[in-house]
Amino acid sequence: MPTITLALWPLALALLIVGPLLGGGYLLLRDAVSAPRSFFTDAALGVSDSAPRAVPQDVLVAALSSVLDGGIVVKAVLVLALWAAGAGASAMVGVLLPARGLGLRAAGLAGRLTASTLAVWNPFVAERLLQGHWSLLTGYAALPWLVWAGVRMRSAPAAGIGVTLLALALAGLTPTGAVLAVIVALVVAALPGGWRRAVRVAVIVAGFAAVAAPWLITAAMAAPGSTSDPAGVDAFAARAEPHLGTLGSLAGLGGIWNSQALPPSRTGAGALIGTLILLALVACGVRGLWRRRAHPVIAAVVVLAVLAVVLPALGATAPGLAAARWAVENVPGAGLFRDAQKWVALAMPGYTLAAALEVRALSRLPRRLPGIRARVVRDHRENRRAAAQKVRGSVGAYAAAAAISSAVLIAALPSLAWGVGGALQPAHYPQGWDRVAAIVDSAPSDGAMATLPAGSFRDFAWTRGPVLDPAPRYFRTDVLVTGDLLVGDTTVGGEGTRARDTEEALLAGAAPAVLAHEGVRWVLVQHGTPGTLGDSAATLAQAEQVYSDPDVSLYRIPGPVAATGSTSADRGLAWAGHALWLAAAVTGAALTGGAALRQRMRLPQRA
């Protein structure tokens, strides 16, 4: 029963959060884009002229959406990620704070349930959901599992290595997730004690190299010295929420750069109240963490949590921003670290440990519970009833403390429930999108698609807010996007040089031959969304209109189109990188399954 409870509780929380999405339709909100079917395009493989930010995520979705509707795939991954975050926090607490004795066993269950609640129900999860970072949450969910695996690797190498590789692979759906995961895994593996430390570290390094291969290889194929727009450093710096300041916002697991990606209950005084409640709960467990500071893994997890709050706060200061701008301008790949708030995810394992110990402090458990059992042995007849009553009272106190703590965490962020204040609602594509897809997909694949209006984001009446242009994930052909982002009044330039040249040609009303030279066969005009069209009507008047309705219009560029884009060698290398990621995931799953099977076969023998 405790095992079932620990598994079902985070699942219930996850379903409470994403409930509105569970019907038909697609997740379309800011960076989250799902479509009925995705394809193995150059952008999905990471070999377009934009940075490979969504590999191997897009390849995985393309593969799964060939047998399942893509909307179901994304929603299933999101639910599993939220569940895994809570289940992982519970498992981590179980291995780092093992229960001893009858009363403490009840405390272990209560503490693990509270840790599970905090892992799922916090501002970081809410803000990343509103930003559309569903795949980043898989990396977030992997963190406590990597701590668990790092501890298990010392006594049960096969199980520990298996979970480590599997967690690294799942976290590695995005580059950020892979980096978050390897930080935690290396910190725990490098600590002294147990099975060979050098081997543990080697396993982590090799696992990271495999799961990061899809974007490491494609990034290496990019133009030498490719860097990101330094304007993104200021735009994506951690943000101070109302009444909190930057440090307070980060300490409360909030502070995302986008002020529009805030749950309703985190606006105004709600941010201050919710943060104080969360920090008060965590503070109640600090004494317990201090008493266990000799445990190297607990100490490392706590230090990591502190650094995860302090370093992004320092990064938002003038010197920190200046240093980051220099790095982004001069170090290829440094743009990965521009979104400073996302690194606060590393605080989650430490916070959940503190929450588990908070239950012990709140319950006011008698300090010397083992003495109760000793008195039972010394005077069995006289003291058995009284001791049992005290133990039952302790069990009840732990249960009450867990219930109160979880209720307080949920009450501190009530708008996370049911779609983060209703923002997570399924969207439905107009029929014109399917009709355009039928035309484009049935034609010879001899050119890419450009889209209008200019810009990377759309805001349709049929979506719940701004969303990345869905076209790159909806159509079989490659869709050119600049990757430019408008953050407030600042435009952060993307890496899509070919897409930018095409967009500028369209806005200038250039002849269709200019687009053909860029390898463009199709132009899709999306109606009902803000954006600049410039003089594109002059270009489109010379093209062939093959479809039009109130939602979309499709134009075909006549004549021969230049062969541009990636080469077969580039795609082959990209597929090799994805094969390494898949190999790490399969190896991890096989080792984990084999270890679980061996453990299950040994149980009857011990009984």
Residue 332 has pLDDT above 50, yes or no: yes
In a domain, 518, yes or no: yes
Tokens of 406: 């979880």
In a domain, 485, yes or no: yes
In a domain, 475, yes or no: yes
Instruction: Give the mean pLDDT of 386-391.
Output: 50
Backbone angles phi, psi at 161, to 5 degrees: -65, -40
Q: What is the pLDDT of residue 103?
A: 41
CA atoms of 390 and 378, how far apart (whole Å): 16
Which of 33-47, 87-101, 154-168, 235-249 comes out lowest in average pLDDT?
87-101
CA atoms of 258 and 141, how far apart (whole Å): 22
CA angle 83, 186, 598 (to 5 degrees): 60
> What is the SS3 assignment for 555?
strand
Q: What is the pLDDT of residue 100?
A: 58
Please answer whether residues 180 and 139 qualify as being in contact, where contact means their C-beta atoms are separated by less than 8 angstroms.
Answer: yes
In a domain, 417, yes or no: no
Instruction: Give the mean pLDDT of 392-420.
Output: 87
* Confidence class for position 389, pLDDT limits 50, 70, 90: low
Q: Where are any strands of DSSP class E within 118-174? A: none
Q: Tokens 């001899």, residue?
A: 446
pLDDT tens string 481-530: 988 887 776 778 777 788 999 999 999 999 999 999 999 999 999 999 99
* Confidence class for position 364, pLDDT limits 50, 70, 90: low
State the chain's mean pLDDT as an integer: 90
Picking from 437, 445, 438, the residue whose alpha carbon sits closest to that of residue 475 is 437
Higher pLDDT, 373 or 8: 8
Which of 103-107, 285-289, 402-406 comes out lowest in average pLDDT?
103-107
Handedness of CA 27, 29, 32, 33 (dihedral sign): positive
Q: What is the pLDDT of residue 6?
A: 94
Residue 374 has pLDDT above 70, yes or no: no
Q: What is the pLDDT of residue 578?
A: 98
* Confidence class for position 107, pLDDT limits 50, 70, 90: low
Residue 295 has pLDDT above 50, yes or no: yes
Residue 402 has pLDDT above 80, yes or no: yes
Q: Which distant-in-sequence residues (6+ apart) come within 8 Å of 317 by Cβ?
A: none
CA atoms of 178 and 585, how far apart (whole Å): 13
> What is the SS3 assignment for 511?
coil
Q: What is the pLDDT of residue 394?
A: 59
Instruction: Give the mean pLDDT of 379-387.
Output: 50
Q: What is the pLDDT of residue 373?
A: 42
Residue 358 has pLDDT above 70, yes or no: yes
Q: What is the pLDDT of residue 195?
A: 64
Distances (CA, A) of 157 to 160, 162, 186, 191, 584: 5, 8, 15, 15, 16
Instruction: Give the mean pLDDT of 72-96.
Output: 97
Q: 3-state SS string over 371-402?
A: HHHHHHHHCHHHHHHHHHHHHHHHHHHHHHHH
CA atoms of 14 and 17, how far apart (whole Å): 5
Q: What is the pLDDT of residue 334?
A: 83
In a domain, 576, yes or no: no
Instruction: Give the mean pLDDT of 98-118.
Output: 73
Phi-psi region of 490 (alpha: psi -120 to 50; beta: other; left: phi over 0): beta
Backbone angles phi, psi at 421, to 5 degrees: 70, 25
Q: What is the pLDDT of residue 341?
A: 96
Instruction: Give the mean pLDDT of 463-477.
Output: 95
Instruction: Give the mean pLDDT of 334-351.
Output: 94
* Confidence class for position 371, pLDDT limits 50, 70, 90: very low
Domain that holds residue 540: 431-556
Q: What is the pLDDT of residue 492?
A: 82
Q: What is the pLDDT of residue 412?
A: 96
The b-or-e profile of 444-460 (16+ CB within 10 A means b, else e) is: eeebbbbbbbbbbbbeb
Instruction: Give the mean pLDDT of 187-204.
Output: 89
Instruction: Give the mean pLDDT of 220-249.
Output: 85
Handedness of CA 380, 385, 387, 388 (dihedral sign): positive
Q: What is the pLDDT of residue 376?
A: 39
In a domain, 550, yes or no: yes
How many domains in the chain? 1
In a domain, 502, yes or no: yes
In a domain, 260, yes or no: no
Backbone angles phi, psi at 353, to 5 degrees: -60, -45
CA angle 428, 432, 436 (to 5 degrees): 120
> What is the SS3 assignment for 523?
strand
Which of 121-135, 289-303, 386-400 comes out lowest in average pLDDT?
386-400
